[in-house]
Structure 1
C-alpha cells in the first residue's frame, strides 16, 4: 500500500456536509495525499451513511475507519461519530480511533486530529477549516503552522456559518483563504509530487499533547511540563485546569485530557453559570412558597415578618429573572448540525 506523502486534514461543523460534498467533488482520484475529515455531528449519527454520501461525489475511496487502519494515498477517511480520529507514526502511518476526552467539548475534535497529523507529518500536512460555529480547528491550524505545515480556510463570505473560518483568520497566520470551488485545485497543487517541503522541527510540547491524546489520559506531571496551574476548574470533570505555556492561542488542559481554547472555556462557563442561576431562581421560588404557607398560618408580628421576607425574596427573584431573560450570560445555543 502506498504511504501518503502528504496529509490533508479537514475540519467542519454546522453546514459541513454540503461544503464537504462540494469540496470532494473537486478532488482528483490521482491526489498525492490522504484526506482525513472531522465533521461535528451527533454521537448517534449514522457515520456510514455520511461516508456513502461523500463517496457518491468523488472517485477517492471513502472509509469510516477502524482503529489501526493503515493510511493510503488517495483515500478519504471520515472520523466516526463520538470518536477521535488521530494519526500515529509507524513503519506505515496508521489511524487511531479512540473515545478519549473531549476537546473544546467535541468528540471527534478537529484540534485533536490536526495536532496528531502535524506531529507525525510535520510540513507535509495541509490543514483546512470550513464552515462551522464556535472555535474548534483554530488551535489545530496553529499546531500545523508550528510544525511547518500549510493552513487553508474557506472564504468566510461564502461559508454558511462563518464563525470557524473567521476565528481561524483572527488567530492564525493562514496561508490561503479560498472558495470551495477553488479549494480542490489548490490542494492538488500544494500536494503534487515534487513540491519542496520546508523542514521544521516538531515542538516537544505538541509531541507530549499528542501522546496524551493517544493514551486517552495523562498525568499531572506530564501536563506540568507544558502548562502551569491556574485557579480554574475543568467544566467536564471538575479537575484543576492548567494554562498551556506554548503557542499564541490561549489554551487550557486538565490532567485527564480535556482541552479548551479560552473562547470554548468561556462559553462553557457561561452555560454553567446560567444553569446555576436558574437553580437559584427555583430554590428562591420554593422558599417564597414555603414562607407564604407559613404566613397564612401565622398571626400578629410573626406574620408581618414573614410577609416582609417574602417581598424581599420576590425582589431577588425578579432581578435574577431579568438578568437571565435579558441574555446577561450570553448563552445562545449554536444551530443544530445538519446532514443535508
Structure 2
C-alpha cells in the first residue's frame, strides 16, 4: 500500500455519468502505480444491476480497483468504486455506504461523495468531474473548493456528454480543464502538492446538514421550513412533498431528504409531464375503442341518434389521440439518452 506523505492531498473523488466509462478508463490508465492518494469513483448506475465498473477500471491501469465496502479502510493507491443503490462517503479514514435519500434522482449521487470529501478531507481533497448530463457533482465540487480543495474538470469538448463539465465550470474556477487523457498525470502532480489545513474555511451549516442527511437519513426535525430553509413552492418528484431551498438558490430538499438542483428538477418534471401525456393518449385510445363498440351496438339495435353520437365521440377522440401521438413521437426524436447501459 502506498503511504500518503504528511500534509499532501490524500483523497481524489471522481464523478461521471453518461459517456463516463471511457473517460474513467482513460483516467485510470494514466494514473501511475505509485499514486499516493485514495481514489473514489461515483458513476450513476441502475439500482438493480450488478456493476462491472470495478473490473473495467482494474484492468484499465496499474491501480487496483474494487467495489467499495462499508467499513473498509480508505487506502491510498486504490480505486474505490461506489456500488449500485448506495451512496459512498468517508468517515475517519473508512468508507461508508448508505441508502440515504436520492439526489437528483440518483443513488449513488456524485454530490454526496464530493460533499463528504469536502467535510472530512477539506483542503486535502481533489474533485474531478467527467462526462455526463445535467449537473450532478457541480455543487459538491464547489464544496470542495470552498473548503480549500482543488477542482479538475474534463474539457467539455473532449467529453461525450458536455453538460456535467459545463455546469461545473459555471460554478467553480478549477485548477485545470483537461482532456481525459491528461487528467491522470495532472492529478499525480496535484496530490503531491502540500495542502495547508490552517487556512481551510470551516464547513457551512448547509454543507454539514446535507452531509448528515446522506449519512443518516432524515432525523426528526432535520428538514423543516424556516428562515434557513424557506419553502420553494415546488414539489418533490420522488415523494410529492414540499421542497425547501437549502444553501444557495437553486438547491432544494424535501422533508424526507430527497435533493434536487433546479436543472434536475426541471428534467424530472419534464419526465412527469411526458408520462402524463402517455397516460392521456392511452385513455383517448381506449375511449375511441369503447365509443366505436357502443356505436356498433346502437346500430344493431337501430338506435340511429345514439349511434351517431357515439360515432362523433369516437372520431373526436381518435383525432385528439393522433395529434397527441405525433407530439409524443416528436419529443422522443428530440431527446438524447441521459444514461447508458448498467455497468
| Greater shift in the superposed pair: 321-330 or 59-68 | 321-330
1:33 to 33, 37, 61: 37
| Deviations, residues 65-111 of structure 1 (Å, cap 9, x unaligned) | 211122233332111122110112x3xx2211122222112111111
Q: How far off its partner does 1:131 sit?
A: 1.5
Q: How does 1:108-187 map to 2 (within 5 A)?
A: 108-187=108-187
CA contact (8 A) 2:126 2:152 kept: yes
Map of 2:208 onto structure 1: 207
> What SS does the corresponding residue of 1:131 show, helix, strand or coil?
coil
Q: Which residue of 1 aligns with 2:242?
A: 240
1:81 maps to 84
Shift of residue 22 of structure 1? 1.8
1:282 corresponding residue in structure 2: 282
Runs of 4+ in 1 over 6 A off after TM superposition: none
Q: Are positions 1:62 and 2:72 aligned together?
A: no
CA contact (8 A) 2:9 2:192 kept: no
* Residues 241 and 254, structure 2, Cα contact 8 Å, conserved in 1: yes
Work out the CA distance in 2 between the residues paired with 1:220 and 1:276. 33
Asked if the contact 2:119/2:203 (under 8 Å) is kept, the reply is yes
Are residues 50 and 308 of structure 1, via their aligned partners in 2, closer, same or farther at CA, if it must alter by over 3 Å? closer
> Hey, what's the Cα distance between the residues in 2 that align with 1:323 and 1:122?
49
User: Residue in 1 aligned with 2:56?
Assistant: 53
* Alpha-carbon spacing, 1:282–1:191, altered in 2? closer, same or farther (3 Å): same
The equivalent of 2:331 in structure 1 is 327
Correspondence 1:13-32 to 2 at 5 A = 13-32=17-36
Give the alignment partner of residue 314 of structure 1, picking from 294, 318, 341.
Answer: 318
Measured after TM superposition, the shift of residue 330 of structure 1 is 6.2
2:17–2:133 Cα contact (<8 Å) kept: yes
Q: CA RMSD in A?
A: 2.6
Q: Deviations over 1:51-71 (max 9, x none)?
A: 233233444343322111222
CA distance in 2 between partners of 1:191 and 1:223 (Å):
39
Query: Relative to structure 1, is the Cα distance of residues 164 and 281 closer, same or farther in structure 2, using a 3 angstrom cutoff?
Result: same
Q: For 2:160 and 2:31, how far apart are their aligned partners in 1?
A: 21
| TM-score, L = length of structure 1 | 0.87
Deviation of the 1:41 alpha carbon: 2.9
Give the whole-Å Cα distance in 1 for the aligned partners of 2:320 and 2:221.
42
Report the count of equivalent residues: 333
- SS of structure 1 residue aligned to 2:214: helix
Distance 1:19 1:233, change over 3 A: same
Matches of 1:165 and 1:80, distance apart in 2: 23
Structure 1: 5+ residue stretches without partners: none
Report the Cα distance in structure 2 between the residues aligned to 1:126 and 1:18, rounded to whole angstroms.
20
Contact residue 134 and residue 163 of structure 1 kept, 8 A: yes
Structure 2 unaligned spans of 5+? none
Secondary structure of 1:187's counterpart equals helix
The alpha-carbon distance between structure 1 residues 279 and 53, as it changes in their structure 2 partners (threshold 3 A), is closer
- The answer to which of 313-322 and 202-211 deviates more is 313-322
Retained in 2: the 8 A contact 1:270–1:331?
no
Whether the 8 Å CA contact 1:15–1:338 is kept in 2: the answer is no
Whether contact under 8 Å (1:9, 1:127) holds in the other structure is yes
Q: Give the secondary-structure state (helix, strand or coil) at the position aligned to 2:156.
A: coil
Report if the CA contact (8 A) 1:31-1:192 is conserved. no
The equivalent of 1:301 in structure 2 is 305
